[in-house]
Structure 1
Amino acid sequence: MKFVILRLYRFLLFFYQKVKNFLFYLNKKEIQIKAAAYTLPIFVGGRVKITSNTFLGKNVCFNGMKIYGLGKVWIGDNFHSGAECMIITNIHNYDHGKAIPYDETYIEKNVKIENNVWLGSRVLILGGVTIGEGAIIQAGAVVVNNIPAYGIAGGSPAKVFKQRNIQHYEQLKKEEKFY
């Protein structure tokens, strides 16, 4: 009888640990969307943190995105992000600050991402940038300058190295074939 009770105890302890670990995993998933304006549907996968100064279009898909800072962020329709992307709209005042390396003043810069933009995983976008319609940003890119419409960009800093086929793009857009 002792043996049966011991086995049952071990099983319950094992089951308890599995449930506890699963609940811990669920609590770690960070989803905070405080967007100023949005249109459904919004698809969320991975950890997402969106500020209240963010305006979202329709059919937006985040596979991991964090937006930091007080600047405004506009994200257009049919946007898709890879894992662990980040947008930072504030920078420290290092140029005319009252201390070195910087003072307590933040400089806010807005970000605009137009319709049908796709960001690869771990893309970093800094404030003051516009990413044009239909642009694709390669994984790991650091976007510090504007990216034109239909541009395919990558690197650090991100540079356009190719253009999309505009006729094909416009045909798909006309047929409303959005993913």
Structure 2
Amino acid sequence: MNTFILHLYNLMCNLLPETRCWGLKRTMLRCAGANIGNNVRIVSSASYFLSGPLEVGDDTWIGHYVSIVGGDALVRIGHSCDIAPKVMLVTGSHEINYQECGRVAGYGYSLPIIIEDESWVCAGSVILGGTTIGRHSIVAAGSVVKGEFPERSLIGGNPAKVLRQITALNVKKAPADCEDK
């Protein structure tokens, strides 16, 4: 990612309407080096502070005040995903310094975040580096997520865990035109 262009993107988006100018926002992120799919809708208050690759699949929604922060690790959001307001994706962390003196936050590192296709991350959740969220999963509001989670999982809590598997039996009604691909 070109961090200078990304910084300009963050500044310019403050001047744009929250829920308009979708194509312009996609183009600006592509100019910064991000791989942004077709029909991605990014709200203007979403911000990006990272140097690693950013990939967002087709037909994905990135909501109000979403922050993607980190170092050089990959952030991949699949197609047809919904990232709700105030979600944070943070790839960076630190080793713990056990020494008697100096900062406790030791050497910094980054780990990838992968949110697979057709998943929904609900409001106020924090997704930490080293996380893979399986296809067609839901992250409950306010969760703190780190680790590997299988597809069709309802994930929630702090720390997050699989609350249950999502099946046709525990979903009220699926649209008639929705087929398992």
TM-score (norm 1): 0.71
How far 1:49 moved relative to its partner? 1.7
Contact 2:16/2:44 (8 A) holds in 1: no
Contact 1:35/1:56 (8 A) holds in 2: no
For structure 2, the residue ranges without an aligned partner over 5 or more in a row are 1-13, 19-24
Amino acid at match of 2:103: I
Provide the rounded CA distance (Å) in 2 between the counterparts of 1:174 and 1:155.
30
Larger radius of gyration: 1
Amino acid at match of 2:41: F
Task: State the SS of the aligned residue for 2:36.
Answer: coil
For structure 1, the residue ranges without an aligned partner over 5 or more in a row are 1-25
How far 1:124 moved relative to its partner? 0.2
Instruction: Name the structure with the higher helix share.
Output: 1
Match of 2:156 in 1: 154
Match of 1:55 in 2: 55
Match of 2:104 in 1: 101
Contact 2:38/2:59 (8 A) holds in 1: yes
Match of 2:116 in 1: 114
Match of 2:69 in 1: 68
How far 1:147 moved relative to its partner? 1.6
Match of 1:10 in 2: none
Q: 1:55 to 1:116 in 2, by over 3 A?
A: same
TM-score (norm 2): 0.70
Q: Equivalences for 1:134-149 in 2 at 5 Å?
A: 134-149=136-151
Q: 1:54 to 1:90 in 2, by over 3 A?
A: same
The more displaced of 156-165 and 80-89 is: 156-165
How far 1:95 moved relative to its partner? 4.3
Contact 1:143/1:158 (8 A) holds in 2: yes
RMSD: 2.9
Q: 1:85 to 1:76 in 2, by over 3 A?
A: same
Q: Deviations over 1:56-94 (max 9, x none)?
A: 110110113211012111110001011100010011232
Contact 1:29/1:47 (8 A) holds in 2: no
